[in-house]
Amino acid sequence: MARQARKHYLGLTTVTQDVEDFLATPEGHTILANSSVQLLMRQDSSTIDAVSHTFRLSAGEREFLLSCRKGEGLFFASGNHIALRIEASPFEHSLATTDPAELEDRAKEATDAVS
């Protein structure tokens, strides 16, 4: 599918929290090779060697991925590597949050508003 998507004017998005999902199989390597852009977020020290080798990271990029904060990462496009920070607007955050404390507060506010 990854090889054929662009030929049929399709966009394919793949997401994983564990880059080993892609690096452990030939199919995963095919997906990476056919991706026009990649976004790497914080990496665990147990996977950074494989990530560094696969994405040809510099020493600075490697250290950045080991220590970046929530929402920070490296964006790869057209041979360029760019550090970035992604921040959701308050509305986007409210749509996407799964934080139990926030959801509990939201439910309490809704209950209070009805009362």
pTM of this prediction?
A: 0.76
DSSP state of 85: E
pLDDT at 2 over 80: no
| pLDDT tens per residue, range 81-97 | 999 999 999 999 999 99
Q: Contact, 83 vs 71, CB < 8 A?
A: no
* Residue 84, phi then psi, degrees to nearest 5: -145, 165
| pLDDT tens per residue, range 52-69 | 998 999 999 999 999 999
Percentages helix, strand, coil for the chain, rounded to the nearest 5?
50, 15, 35
In sequence order, the 6+-apart residues with CB closer than 8 A to the CB of 50 are 19, 20, 23
Q: Where are the alpha helices (DSSP H) in 1-115?
A: 2-5, 20-23, 26-33, 48-55, 59-67, 90-96, 100-114
